Chains A and B, each alone.
Chain A
Amino acid sequence: MITMEEKKIPLLNTLEKHCEDLDQNSTSAWFKTLRQEALARFLTLGIPTTKNEDYKYTNLSVLSSRHFKPVTKAALPTDHQLSKICSQNDITLVFVNGILDENLSSYHQLPKGLTILPLEKELSDNGSSIKNLLNQHDLTKENRFTSLNRALINSGCYLHIADKVIIEKLIHIIHITQCKESGLTAPSTFIVVDQSAQATVMETHIGTANNAYVAVAATEIFLKNNAILHYCKAQSESLNAYHLGNTRVWQERDSHFDGFALMNGGEVTRNDLDIVSNGEGTSSTLNGFYGLTGKQHVDNHSSMDHRWPNCTSNQLYKGLLNGESHSVFNGKIFVRQIAQKTNSYQLNKNLILGVNCRVDTKPQLEIFADDVKCTHGATIGQLNEDEIFYLQTRGISKKDAVKLLAHGFVQDILEKIHHPAIIQKLNILLEPTFAALEE
């Protein structure tokens, strides 16, 4: 299945063996097939090079050169910052290296209509609900790292909100990776919101100390008719980590997806957000913020696929670049021929503060229907000298002025988030980004 040249890549070499080990421990036959098919897909696609248009600006050659081994169970060190972002008011699930930690989590007195299952349990019952959901996607066009995640699927979280149930509390899923070096984790999350139900979910990815590892995260979201989901993905991995994330959203008629993505951790991040609007009248919001310092690299890819008429989508991604960081933005909007009256908006704004920063942005429209309104835009610039000067005349030091204006740039987009608890957590996660401004 893999060529001679690829045999030399340690990651690919050990992958097959590892999947076999996983298969021996699992009971469900479907689960095994899922894993094997995904592995085959990943091995066919391989590790991308920068010659691949989708990875033109993101070099992932480290995956070929370094030997990453799937992580195993580990105990958290005592100095982790988990307590800062956990709150008694939320429903919290903490996964350490992909395994649910009962002691750190609090999800036992759940409101009626909300089901939270560790993935192992859902899968051992044949995984029928997940099976049906996954079948909606065209697997042949699947993202290669989603396939890699599936190939390693073992644990994770399955979340289900029943018909007409509104969950007020924030559901907070935390993935924390603890490993000495070169580990590989594959956290998976499944969220299903049934008809006319509502929920708010936050998914946080963090690491301990400055460990170097790869997190291949995949989240599947299914919104049934008229469902509403407020979703936030916060990626604050350790500064030496690689994060390869993929969030797929499937929207049925009149559903509303309100998403936000924070990316401020990791050495190299690649995050894909794919939304399929598969019913009339859906609305989608895709907002995001990335704050980079040092030599960080973040690559945000999003794809909004309008397959039905009368849908709207709104996207705003903002970035703050410091040091020698590099950001990539690629936003695609597809409007199929049938999707008349689509209203789609996309904007990417970059604020460059560092001297050797690099920004590559590519907002993209592909439109096959005529009665639509689609706009996109991108800006790259610096802080306004006049604004800094104004603040200085009021007795504020230049450093503080810069910080104040940068805060304003971020605050503007944080305010669009629906749940106050999320904003509060994001502000905590953003602390290192602002601390870097003072250097």
Chain B
Amino acid sequence: MSSISPQEIKQEFFKSKMGITGIIILSTLIAISIIAIITIPIETFQEWNNPENWILYPKVAVPIWVNYFMFDKIPEHRIYENPNVQISSNKELILTSHQFGVNFEYDEFPNDFIYIFSSKYENSPLIEMSVTRPDGIKLDLISMSLPHSNSEIKHNERIFSTDKSIRKNLSLQSEKFSFSFDRLASEDIIFSQLEKNEPLKGNYIFSIDTFSIDNQPKILESKLIIGGKVFGVMGTDELRRDLAIGLLWGTPLALFIGLVVSIASVVAGLLYGVYAGFKGKKTDEVMMRFNDVIYALPALPFLIILSVTISNSIFVLVGFLMVFGWVGIAKVARSMSLQIKTRGYVDAANMMGQKESKIVLKHILPQLLPYAFASIAISVPAAITTEAGLSFLGLGDPSFPTWGQILHDANTFGASSRGLWWWIMPPGIMIAVTGLAFVFIGNALDSIINPKLKR
């Protein structure tokens, strides 16, 4: 192993297909991490466990691209935030009209619709909601007056499609339709053809008219949500969270955990092992006994107890993983340094009276560097899967959406027996792909350092 120079290792490495594949995957992952850090503000992922933040999103929605493979298109979950605003006044009566154009091209009815608004007003404005369908028919949905107030107040309101008065208004207009409204939800009527109860495709216009006298209400927020069953690149989970955000943010977290744990353990193990091997005799004996003790500790039960009793913070967990990570490397580093110690130049340096620390740092450690790099790469996947495993058991840091955490939630909500594949597959594939990248790099390095295995 001492006969290979760094340049040669580099050359050999770029000749190996495995090594290059590993590097390509790793670069992609790093690119994803950078994209995640830049495009998704850090506040978003801190809000991961805050249900308020996800209230507008659909529950367990299938990823959007599924529609490409479907013959019957599933309605997409749409959030309309920028209505077309028209204001007209007739003497003292002021009409503020918000219109949302909804392009509906799906083969199933939407799940529901919600209109969310907040406004500042005096007196008691009247709100009317209606929809103009692609066939030109206008359906009145609801008309309601906001609570009366003499001074200016702020009012928030949500109009749900399940509202009974919408249903009642629709049944008053049932003569336009040639089927019975029995047991049909409002959205199944509004988006239906006249002859039979099947979705009518085309452009719908939802208009919300606010009538007020004397002063114009200030509408602060006005959103229309047409609830669908597909949403986002990666779909959503039971708690309405956008899985794409969790998966993206999981990448830098996994790389952080894997790299920090493996680099720190390899460095610690290397120094420990080399020192023990170099010193020899009693020091070696004592150090190796201690090594044996740590080696024999059952890691997983211990990690579990530690995270339950001390802290489940991700940074503390990284520390615990290091405690169990350095042992094997120390053993190998010791036996390697035992071999190197007997070489002539180390003896020579010793005789010339060089300091111990200098001999270790200058003559022994550099010889072990290729091995160190290979072990760093090889021990990354273990760190990532262990963290994922702990998170999966519900012992991870709940404030960070790691892949293991997502899978834990999936398991808690019985995703696999409910067939929610988009909740289970991507996090696991990400864990495996990240692991593979490092295994490839590690194996490529390993076969250069130990040519015996290369065949």
Partners in one complex: no
Give the A-binding residues of B (Cβ under 8 A): none
